[in-house]
Structure 1
Amino acid sequence: MSVKLTTLGKYAKVQGGFAYKSKDFSTSDRFPVLKIKNIRFGSIDYTEAASINEDLAKATIDWQTKEGDILISMTGSGPNAPQSLVGRVARVWRNEPTAWINQRVGRLILKDQNSIHPDFLFYILSTPKSQDYLVSNSSGSANQANISGKIIESLPCPDISYEKSASIAKVLRDIDEKILINQKTNQTLEAIAQALFKSWFVDFDPVKAKLSVLAAGGSAEAAERAAMCAISARDEASLNTLQTEQPEAYAELAQTAALFPSAMQDSELGEIPEGWELSEIGKEVTILGGGTPSTKQPEFWDNGDICWTTPKDLSNATDQVILDTERKITKDGLNKISSGLLPANTVLLSSRAPVGYLALTKVPLAINQGYIAMRCEQNLPPEYVLLWASSVMDEIKQRASGTTFAEISKKNFRPIKVIVPPRILLKIFNNRASNIYDQIANNVYENSTLKSTRDSLLPRLLNGELKVSGGRS
């Protein structure tokens, strides 16, 4: 059954954001402003959002977001540029921060609340066909493409009843709810991994716990107990309960605590635990770059089945793992890349446009020239390297240079200092961290399956191949 079409403008108009000026912004996070960079595909990135003061927030209350708002980036890049494309669409979910929209961020305003369900418009805007329409009708350069509110309103859209739009939107939103749960679970898992790394290898909490007890005249046994509390985030009473009820877990915790020294030593980075080494990342992992096979040679690309990644694959990722890539190359194409096929559990750092995206590969793949790859073949496990790179990101960015855009070279990256703990302690850490990232990867895989299911359902629901019950939502 064919779908009767109208335009999005039948149902909604586009409101542009407010033209805040540079002097309006501060580092406070009380009244965040969403710029085009904060609009991702399907979600909003509230990190590093600039903020305005309370008086200006009240004066521009008409540009305050609310649950259910549909936002569109009206400036971005064209189809051949590596950055995120113009026309990205996101929805404000419940329990998200209240924010204000900046110029070049559009918001859909329904003309009649009873004409169509807003979530339905979000899903229509999110389809590849709609995204292609917005990009192809943009104006400007490849690196600075723009779309107007009129272009967005001219987007072909099904002519549909409210009841059917609400029913279709509910089916798709139920899938998105599960995707959102997985994403939030992954955020929690990643935070746990980062906290563990910081406690053990940045703040040296178990070592300092021992030192504090010994400095106060406590016994070596008391110092070990203090380290066990620091490692397990338990107090003495909870530790006693663990010893009584789970003696094996208590013994394992004691063995881990014993691996941390009770003294510090001087180093170029300041004091580090006694017996630990200070090295350079270039000496501890294999540093590699990548390349791009000629796009003019179809034999490098057509029917390729080898994953090939660019930093664009990470620009809209919500998790630091890679299970698949947008583009694939052939074996002939792979032969044109000196670093070849990198194994799973390689750590990737985007070295330009922009510097700082990080990911842990979970499939063998090749990379383009926008990455520094770290193949972890020696003592440092990949999860350690990934979390280390995140912890020294300020230094990584400071070492970047360039006039057109910042880039960090392999030469400038290799000398960055890295602490190398004893191998047995790294093994224990890796057992914990790898389990966390395996869980993250499993959730990413499930979300990929859910997204494919969601995207395939929309046309089938529209043309009547799949039936949905009517009703208002």
Structure 2
Amino acid sequence: MSIPYSNIFSICPKNWEIAPLQEHLFFQEGPGILAKDFRDSGVSLLRLAGVGDKFATLDGCNFLDPEMVDKKWPHFRLDAGDIVTSASASFGRTSIVGKATEGAISYTGIIRFRPRTNKIVPGFIELFLRSPFFENQARSFAVGGVIQHFGPTHLKQMAIALPPIEEQMAISSIIGAFDDKIELNRRMHATLKATAQALFKSWFVDFDPVRAKMEGRAPEGMDEATAALFPDGLEESESDLGRVPRGWKVQSLDEIAEFLNGLALQKFPATDPAGSLPVIKIAELRNGISAKSDRASRDVPEKYIIEDGDFLFSWSGSLLAKFWTEGEGALNQHLFKVTSERYPMWFVSHWVHHHLEEFQSIAASKATTMGHIQRSHLKSAMAICPMDDALKKFDTVMAPFIDASIRNEIESRSLATLRDTLLSKLLRGELRVAQAEKEIFA
């Protein structure tokens, strides 16, 4: 049997086996399930939203009737250790099936893999599916217009390069160490974010410390110096927010921050790709910079150049808000760069997130192709602002959460870049395991 695209493995060591993918891997796409099959409970249906992290999750899952599953799809239940990957839209979204997703059914557009022979280990399958050697083959077969996809028919025409089992395990161990650190950073980021959000809501939305002092109780979870920053009473505000802490002001989002709209960056074409900037659009805000990102000239005015730690907010399409950690880029239209001369960015960012669900609802109600909000909505969205001296002291408590979160994200980006570089070289045999260990631990 001739093996298409084997030339991409042409520099592999002689003791590696170049083989058809189907010879050593079992693969199966999820069954054709329709919306009418969904139930309120039952067998979980793994969706694309749950694929991408190290372990698959049931985020955004639907449910299927157990009797229907046993009758129509009994052989599609996922086993712990299976590897799942997206067959459309976002190539490279790959996860391991753990205990939490064992027994679920994967939706159409998700393919699960497992070893067919003893010449490949599951960990190596995962690495191969995330590598350019798989992606390049998948894209060469992918069909469709805006959303491309491939399927089992195409997989049967693909090839894989297999090192000896011992080397597969060593490669998996090296790359796994990077993945473990990135996963730890992700969990730390989630914990920092949840803690900061809980504190913000308690202090600036629910006014728990103020209410405790009104009842003669010491505010929970803080020392006396921090508790002293909160007033001991509420007063009526001029807005429709009702009673707010005594002495605190109510201001609109556009009063506490500046919202700089991006540019139509096709007016700044990149003439030199090496000296250009990636264009930050809504897709980049969601998924990060990629090889598919547009490029812009460095002639872009300086205020539209984005750096790590800048807070960005997309005001149309998929309304998102986050601190940017993907390196230097150019701000495209439909995104705001949010800054403030008076208020710290942790404070501004939390108020944007506080109103984000409302903004998303407004955008969804627009009878247009791409819903959006207007500056008038920023003017009508209110923030409750402490007195300046108190805010400065609150900053010493709240700012470290944001700073640590940004550092974690930047470190994870650097680790991912190094991991992907090593993976590419290791899977081609261009770099051997012993050499990689020396480079990492030197």
Normalising by structure 2, we get a TM-score of 0.82
Matched residue SS, 1:373: strand
Letter in 2 for 1:418: A
Matched residue SS, 1:191: helix
Q: CA deviation at 1:286?
A: 0.7
User: What is the aligned partner in structure 2 of residue 421 from structure 1?
Assistant: 386
Q: CA deviation at 1:285?
A: 0.7
Specify whether residues 62 and 421 from structure 1 end up closer, same or farther in structure 2 by C-alpha distance, changes over 3 A only. Answer: farther
Once the two structures are superposed, the pairs formed by residues 79-98 of structure 1 within 5 Å of their partners are 85=90, 87-92=91-96, 94=98, 96-98=100-102
User: What is the aligned partner in structure 2 of residue 265 from structure 1?
Assistant: 235
Specify whether residues 180 and 348 from structure 1 end up closer, same or farther in structure 2 by C-alpha distance, changes over 3 A only. Answer: same
Contact 2:83 2:97 in 1 (8 A): no
Contact 1:91 1:122 in 2 (8 A): yes
Q: 2:138 aligns with which of 134, 138, 142?
A: 134
Contact 1:35 1:101 in 2 (8 A): yes
Q: CA deviation at 1:205?
A: 1.0
Q: 2:87 aligns with which of 74, 85, 100?
A: 74
Q: Does 1:289 align with 2:261?
A: yes
Q: Compare 419-428 and 49-58 and name the one that shifted more.
A: 49-58
Q: Does 1:367 align with 2:331?
A: yes
Percentage identity across paired residues of the two chains = 24
User: What is the aligned partner in structure 1 of residue 33 from structure 2?
Assistant: 20
Letter in 2 for 1:104: G
In the alignment, the residues of structure 2 paired with residue 152 and residue 350 of structure 1 have an alpha-carbon distance, to the nearest angstrom, of 37
Specify whether residues 326 and 190 from structure 1 end up closer, same or farther in structure 2 by C-alpha distance, changes over 3 A only. Answer: farther
Specify whether residues 423 and 19 from structure 1 end up closer, same or farther in structure 2 by C-alpha distance, changes over 3 A only. Answer: farther
Q: 2:218 aligns with which of 206, 219, 226?
A: 226
Letter in 2 for 1:286: E
Q: 2:285 aligns with which of 301, 308, 314?
A: 314
Q: Does 1:432 align with 2:404?
A: no
Q: CA deviation at 1:416?
A: 1.7
Specify whether residues 137 and 433 from structure 1 end up closer, same or farther in structure 2 by C-alpha distance, changes over 3 A only. Answer: farther
Q: CA deviation at 1:363?
A: 6.1
User: What is the aligned partner in structure 2 of residue 36 from structure 1?
Assistant: 48
Specify whether residues 203 and 417 from structure 1 end up closer, same or farther in structure 2 by C-alpha distance, changes over 3 A only. Answer: same
Matched residue SS, 2:338: strand
- Name structure 1 gaps, 5 residues minimum: 77-84, 214-222, 233-252
Q: Compare 458-467 and 446-455 and name the one that shifted more.
A: 458-467
Contact 1:304 1:328 in 2 (8 A): no
Matched residue SS, 1:123: helix
In the alignment, the residues of structure 1 paired with residue 157 and residue 248 of structure 2 have an alpha-carbon distance, to the nearest angstrom, of 63
User: What is the aligned partner in structure 1 of residue 201 from structure 2?
Assistant: 198
Once the two structures are superposed, the pairs formed by residues 362-401 of structure 1 within 5 Å of their partners are 365-378=329-342, 380-400=343-363, 401=366
Residues 354-403 of structure 1, C-alpha deviations (whole Å, 9 max, x = no match): 2224335696643112312211222x311122222222222011221242
Residues 387-424 of structure 1, C-alpha deviations (whole Å, 9 max, x = no match): 22222222011221242233333443443222222223
Q: 2:178 aligns with which of 164, 175, 178?
A: 175
In the alignment, the residues of structure 1 paired with residue 62 and residue 417 of structure 2 have an alpha-carbon distance, to the nearest angstrom, of 34
Specify whether residues 406 and 63 from structure 1 end up closer, same or farther in structure 2 by C-alpha distance, changes over 3 A only. Answer: farther
Contact 1:360 1:386 in 2 (8 A): no
User: What is the aligned partner in structure 1 of residue 11 from structure 2?
Assistant: 2
Contact 1:287 1:414 in 2 (8 A): no
Matched residue SS, 2:259: strand
Contact 1:306 1:365 in 2 (8 A): yes
Specify whether residues 361 and 161 from structure 1 end up closer, same or farther in structure 2 by C-alpha distance, changes over 3 A only. Answer: closer
Q: CA deviation at 1:468?
A: 5.3
User: What is the aligned partner in structure 2 of residue 278 from structure 1?
Assistant: 250
Q: Compare 91-100 and 440-449 and name the one that shifted more.
A: 91-100
Contact 1:167 1:468 in 2 (8 A): no
Contact 1:74 1:104 in 2 (8 A): yes
User: What is the aligned partner in structure 2 of residue 466 from structure 1?
Assistant: 432
Number of matched residues?
413
Q: Does 1:457 align with 2:407?
A: no
Specify whether residues 295 and 262 from structure 1 end up closer, same or farther in structure 2 by C-alpha distance, changes over 3 A only. Answer: same
Q: Does 1:111 align with 2:116?
A: yes
Contact 1:307 1:364 in 2 (8 A): yes
Q: CA deviation at 1:315?
A: 2.4
User: What is the aligned partner in structure 1 of residue 438 from structure 2?
Assistant: none
